[in-house]
Structures are given as structure tokens and as C-alpha cells.
Amino acid sequence: MKKATEFAPPTQEEVGADLRALFLQAIHMTLTVLLEEEVERLVGVGRFERVEGRQDSRNGYYRRGLTTSVGKLEVEVPRTRGRGGAGAVLGRYRRRTEEVDDAITAAYVQGVSTRKMGKVTAALMGGGVGRSTVSRVTKSLEEKVEGLKRARLTQAFPYVYLDATFLDARWARAVENVSALVAYGVGEDGHRHLLAVTLGPSESQASWEELLEQLVDRGLGGVRLVIADGHSGLEAAVRRLLPEARQQRCTVHLTRNVAAKVPQRVRQRVAREVSAVFNAPSRKEAKVRMEAFKTGLGAQLPEAVACLEKGFAAATVFYEFPQGHWRRLRSTNGLERLHGEVKRRIRSVGAFPDRASALRLITTVAWEVSSVWSDRRYLDMSLLNPTQEQPVQQLS
């Protein structure tokens, strides 16, 4: 397939199903490298080096638990026979936990550089450090990031949500409007997981196919329903790459589309009546409510009625799934907070200097928003068990 653009945005592995874990590993790696630097300073030579006049010798490790700003971790602290261990690094870390964690995660998201890691190493090593130390930390972090890109999805995701937001970024010496494509899924564990954030020149079929190809290559499977807006390119991409999945059109987007085709003075009333259609207790009742709208308020609004009728079938697929899931499956509202945060931050930035910086900001916001998803179960996925009686509506 021909790519829509030569720009190759980071794969979904860079975002990861759980960015909290990625940042935790980055912090762990950084501390590990600096603990080794500290013990080398105490001993006077590098590991396995044999020189005359060494000051001390290594004497194994001890484990120490730490609470970071993104979770708990355990590190191995090297020690020496005569001068103690390298625990002073951890003491300095505890005193400046949030500051150091912010610097490490910023370096991960914004692109690792010697300059960015300089203040981290200085803070943890207790003063100025040589460029070689900073370079070793930088190299190790880069290796860790590259390794994390190869992580795979290890569980099925019955429900996948896809949506896009738009922003301005400089591209080929001009400011262009580009699309940020976001995917998250509800796994077999019932929790939401961030799956992908990519950047494309537009919300096109090619852009969505590229994102879905990455997810499939990573191991995405078990998809029963894709919830998205009624974008023709997105629908075509899903049909090609996830042919086994049904597609649910976001009822919120459809309601907005219908309301946009009526005069301003009746727009709110139309939106309420259309929303009531999709809140019906059955698909049969939803049809009844749609007919009532057509013969009532909609009688003078033929364009709105046509829009609703055209999108009705795709917007009522959720009735085929467990009733306990309906409210979550009707729309992509789970991404609204993410998009809201992105738009809020964009207002202060204006046009991004390049697409890479735009993607880094969206990735950072996505991590912040999704970091709370692990706290509670989003859906009871046992309702999808076919051996149980399900309150699923028969389509007519």
C-alpha cells in the first residue's frame, strides 16, 4: 500500500498499552545506570577492571523499594566491601522525586538528548558530572525506548474505539492542519487501554489503515466491535484490516450532524429528540421514536430526517451486544476528555513548530488522561460469555 506521506510517525508501541509502565521502566533504568556510576566512583575502577591501587572492591547488591511519581519499583543497589553502598543516589532521588521523574519522562517523550538528561544526572550524582556519564544514561534510555517499541498486545480487545482530533503544525515551511489519530480498547480484563496515537496528514483511509496495520502487527485480536465516527475512510480501513468486527457509529457525532442541518432556533430541541432515539430500551423502540420525530418536528426538516435515517442502522449496532455495555458502546465519549485536554494545551501553543512536537504533546496528554484507567474496571466483560443468557436485542 502506498503511504499517504513520507512522514513516519512513531508506532503505537512508542505510546504503549500502558505508558505509566513505560515511564516507570525509564526511571528504573536511569537509576540503575547512575547507581553503577556511583559505585564505580567509590571503588575507583569500572566493573571487572583490574588495576593497581584500587580504592575498594564490589560486594554484591541489596534490593531497595522506591515509590516514584508513576508507581512503585525495586532497584538493586550495588555496594562495596569497605566504603558502603551507592545508596546516596537514592537519598538524593527521594528528596527530589517529582522533579527528577518529570525530567526523565520529559526526556522520554520529547526525545532523549544529553542536554535533557544533564540535570537528571546532576541531581542524582550530587553535583556536576562528566559528559561521559550523561552520555551513558542517554544511550541506555534510548536503548530502553527502542526495546519498548517491540512490546506486543497480549490480550484480546473485544471493543476498540477510534477517533481523531485536529491541530496546526508546521510542515514543509508552512502551517498545515493535521490529524492526530487515537485508538484505545477495552480488553478482556474489562479495563481501558491506550493502544495507539499517530499523526497523519489528514483523517484519510490511508492514515487509518497505517494505524490499524500497526495494531494488527503488534498482536491486536479478538475485536468484536469498533466504535467510531461515520468517516468513510475509517470504515473502509476497518473493513479491510478488521473484517470480523462490527462497526458502531458514534451516536453523539450523528446527533451533532443531524442538528447541524436545522435552524439555530430549533437545534437544541432536535438534538434532545434525536438523543432520545438512541436512548431507547430496544432497537424496536428506537425505530418507533425515529418515526415519531419524522412525523413531528422533523416534518419541516427533511435534511435532518434524511441524515438520521441514513445513519440509523450503523448507530444502532450496539443493541446486538450486552445491555450492560450499551451506554459505553454508543459513542466515543471516552476520548472527549483527551481531546479537550489537547485543545486546551494547543490554545497556549498555537501552531506547533513541527509534527513531531505535536505528537509528543498528544502522547503526553494521552498518558496523563489514561493513567487513571487502571484504577477501576470499565466494563464487565463476563457479559460477553456466550454460555450466559444475554439481554441482547434481535434486529428487525
State the pLDDT at residue 2.
40
- Residue 394: inside a domain, yes or no? no
Look at 394 and 74; give whichever has higher pLDDT: 74
222 with 368, same domain: the answer is yes
Tell me whether residue 298 is exposed, middle or buried, using C-beta atoms within 10 angstroms of its C-beta: 0 to 12, 13 to 18, 19 or more.
buried
224 with 358, same domain: the answer is yes
In Å, how far are 85, 230, 301, 341 from 60, measured between CA atoms? 9, 60, 79, 47
* Residues shown for the chain: 396
Which of 205, 203, 314 has the alpha carbon at shortest distance from 254?
314
- Residue 181: inside a domain, yes or no? yes
Please determine, for residue 221, whether its predicted confidence score (pLDDT) is greater than 80: yes
Look at 124 and 36; give whichever has higher pLDDT: 36
State the pLDDT at residue 4.
39
Average pLDDT of the segment spanning 283-307? 96
Each as own residue / partner, the long-range contacts of residues 246-249 (CB below 8 Å, 24 or more positions apart, any chain) are 246/317, 246/320, 247/314, 247/317, 248/314, 248/315, 248/317, 248/318, 248/329, 248/330, 249/311, 249/314, 249/315, 249/317
All three cell numbers of 189, joined, read 480484563
Max CA-CA distance within the chain? 96
Q: Which of 98, 119, 148 is the last residue of a domain?
A: 148
193 with 58, same domain: the answer is no
Number of folded domains that form the chain: 2
pLDDT tens digits for range 348-380? 556 666 676 667 667 666 766 676 777 789 999
- Residue 217: inside a domain, yes or no? yes
126 with 44, same domain: the answer is yes
- Residue 392: inside a domain, yes or no? no
- Residue 8: inside a domain, yes or no? no
211 with 346, same domain: the answer is yes
Average pLDDT of the segment spanning 273-300? 96
Average the pLDDT over each of 123-132, 157-166, 279-288, 373-382 and give the range with the smallest value: 123-132
State the pLDDT at residue 372.
73
103 with 177, same domain: the answer is no
354 with 244, same domain: the answer is yes
140 with 174, same domain: the answer is no
120 with 166, same domain: the answer is no
Q: Which residues constitute the domain of residue 118?
A: 15-148
- Residue 389: inside a domain, yes or no? no
141 with 173, same domain: the answer is no
Rounded Cα distance, 77 and 31, in Å: 9
State the pLDDT at residue 334.
76
Question: Which residues pair with residue 77 across a beta bridge?
Answer: 62
State the pLDDT at residue 156.
95
Average pLDDT of the segment spanning 282-296? 97
Average pLDDT of the segment spanning 136-164? 69
Q: Which of 114, 148, 182 is the last residue of a domain?
A: 148
131 with 60, same domain: the answer is yes
Average pLDDT of the segment spanning 294-305? 95
pLDDT tens digits for range 80-125? 765 566 666 677 666 657 666 666 666 655 555 555 566 566 656 5
Q: Which of 117, 148, 179 is the last residue of a domain?
A: 148
State the pLDDT at residue 361.
63
State the pLDDT at residue 28.
76
